[in-house]
C-alpha cells in the first residue's frame, strides 16, 4: 500500500471515530434533556417502555412511552395537594412549565387534542397524530385511556411530551416525540 493510501485510510478512520463520537454525544445530550423531568421526580422504577425511531440520528422522528412506578410519597402528596403539588414540579423538556389539568379530560379542552371522531382523543390518537406510530401494548393504553376519562388523575401536554399522573394506581406515564 502506498503512503498516500495509508494516510487517506487513517484520515477516514479518524473521521468515522469522530462522527460516531458526535452521534453518541448528541444522543446523550438529547436523552438527558428528554428524561430530565422524570429524573427530577425521583422516579426510579420503569415497568414498561415502547419506543420507535424512524429517522437518521438522535431525536429524528422518534417517539416513545414509558410507564413508571410513582413513588409512594409522591402519590400521597398529590392526593393531599393535587395540582398545587404538581405545579411545583420541574419544568418540561422544552423549558416551559407544565400546565397540569385534572382528569377527566373534556372535549374542547384547549390543552388536549381532539380525536378525529367524537369525544376525547385517546393515547393512541395522540401518538398517531403528533409522533411516529409507536406500538403501545393494549393493557398500557387501556390504563392511560381509563385515567384520562376518569376523575383522580392529572395530565400535562406541551405538544412534545405528555405526562399522565395516576396516583391511585401509583403510575406515571411519560410519552414523547421528537
Torsion angles phi and psi, residue 36, rounded to 5: -55, -45
- d(C-alpha 3, C-alpha 152), whole Å: 72
The pLDDT of residue 43 is above 80: no
Dihedral angle sign, alpha carbons of residues 69, 72, 75, 77: negative
Q: What is the dihedral of CA 177, 153, 136, 124, to 10 degrees?
A: -70
Q: Tell me the CA end-to-end span of the chain in Å, nearest whole number.
A: 46
* All cell numbers assigned to 28: 446523550
pLDDT, residue 169, reads 92
Domain count, the chain: 1
pTM for this prediction: 0.71
* All cell numbers assigned to 176: 414523547
The CB density around residue 33, as the number of other CB atoms within 10 Å, is 14
The pLDDT of residue 48 is above 80: yes
The pLDDT of residue 110 is above 70: no
> Which domain range does residue 29 map to?
3-177
Question: What residues have CB less than 8 Å from 117, skipping those under 6 apart?
Answer: none
Question: Which of the residue ranges 21-25, 27-31, 63-67, 148-152 has the most confident prediction, judged by mean pLDDT?
Answer: 148-152
The pLDDT of residue 166 is above 90: yes
- d(C-alpha 154, C-alpha 26), whole Å: 32
Dihedral angle sign, alpha carbons of residues 40, 112, 143, 175: negative
Amino acid at each position: 500500500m502506498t503512503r498516500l493510501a495509508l494516510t487517506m485510510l487513517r484520515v477516514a478512520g479518524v473521521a468515522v471515530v469522530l462522527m460516531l463520537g458526535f452521534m453518541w454525544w448528541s444522543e446523550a445530550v438529547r436523552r438527558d434533556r428528554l428524561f430530565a423531568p422524570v429524573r427530577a421526580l425521583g422516579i426510579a422504577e420503569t415497568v414498561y417502555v415502547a419506543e420507535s425511531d424512524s429517522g437518521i440520528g438522535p431525536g429524528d422522528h422518534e417517539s416513545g412511552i414509558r410507564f413508571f412506578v410513582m413513588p409512594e410519597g409522591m402519590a400521597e402528596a398529590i392526593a393531599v395537594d393535587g395540582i398545587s403539588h404538581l405545579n411545583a414540579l420541574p419544568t418540561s423538556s422544552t423549558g416551559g412549565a407544565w400546565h397540569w389539568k385534572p382528569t377527566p379530560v373534556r372535549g374542547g379542552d384547549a390543552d388536549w387534542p381532539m380525536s378525529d371522531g367524537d369525544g376525547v382523543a385517546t393515547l393512541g390518537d395522540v401518538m398517531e397524530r403528533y409522533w411516529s406510530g409507536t406500538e403501545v401494548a393494549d393493557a398500557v393504553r387501556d390504563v392511560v385511556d381509563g385515567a384520562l376519562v376518569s376523575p383522580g388523575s392529572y395530565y400535562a401536554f406541551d405538544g412534545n411530551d405528555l405526562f399522565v399522573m395516576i396516583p391511585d394506581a401509583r403510575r406515571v406515564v411519560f410519552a414523547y416525540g421528537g
